[in-house]
């Protein structure tokens, strides 16, 4: 596995931050270079809830997240290299990002969405939240 020397540091940052995993992944001060799409895709690939507290993840969570980042980026690059032009983010392959209402490519469950002003969190309940469907704040403002 690549980047194993980085795992303890990532686990420390998880513990120090104590924020939702999706927020951590988008925080350029915590881990640079991931945007909204990859934050969704990395959580899905890692089979972790985007709303999990980073305090709960530990070294096992760090391993899953690092592996998922590599997979998601490698897949995205392979896709770009196979095209004659640059794709837009919405075109790129993925499991959950901008796929609310569609079947999860891994398990077939329906991909869900929680929307915020500037981004949406997409996730698969079966893969990521033990089947729990989180409140969609387009109808409920009190998401936990």
Binding site for Zn ion (CB under 5 A): 104, 106-107, 109, 124, 126-127
For the record, the structure tokens of 71 come out as 């997979």
Q: By the 8 A CB rule, do 106 and 124 touch? A: yes
- Residue closer to Zn ion by CB (options 14, 112) is 112
- Residue closer to Zn ion by CB (options 10, 46) is 46
Minimal distance in Å, beta carbon 46 to Zn ion? 12
Minimal distance in Å, beta carbon 124 to Zn ion? 3
Q: By the 8 A CB rule, do 76 and 89 touch? A: no
Minimal distance in Å, beta carbon 62 to Zn ion? 22
Position closest to Zn ion via CB: 104
- Residue closer to Zn ion by CB (options 11, 72) is 72
Minimal distance in Å, beta carbon 126 to Zn ion? 5
Minimal distance in Å, beta carbon 109 to Zn ion? 5
- Residue closer to Zn ion by CB (options 47, 70) is 47
> What is the C-alpha separation between 89 and 101, in angstroms, rounded?
19
- Residue closer to Zn ion by CB (options 11, 97) is 97
């Amino acid at each position: 596995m690549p980047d194993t020397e980085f795992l303890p540091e990532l686990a420390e940052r998880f513990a120090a931050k104590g924020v939702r995993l999706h927020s951590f992944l988008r925080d350029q001060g915590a881990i640079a270079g991931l945007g909204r799409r990859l934050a969704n895709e990395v959580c899905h690939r890692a089979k972790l809830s985007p709303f999990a507290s980073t305090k709960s993840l530990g070294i096992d969570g760090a391993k899953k997240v690092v592996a998922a980042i590599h997979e998601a980026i490698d897949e995205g690059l392979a896709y770009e290299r196979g095209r004659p032009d640059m794709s837009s983010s919405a075109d790129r392959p993925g499991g959950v990002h901008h796929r609310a209402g569609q079947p999860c490519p891994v398990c077939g469950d329906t991909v869900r969405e929680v929307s915020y002003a500037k981004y949406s969190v997409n996730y698969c309940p079966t893969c990521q939240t033990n089947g729990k469907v989180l409140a969609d704040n387009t109808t409920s403002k009190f998401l936990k």
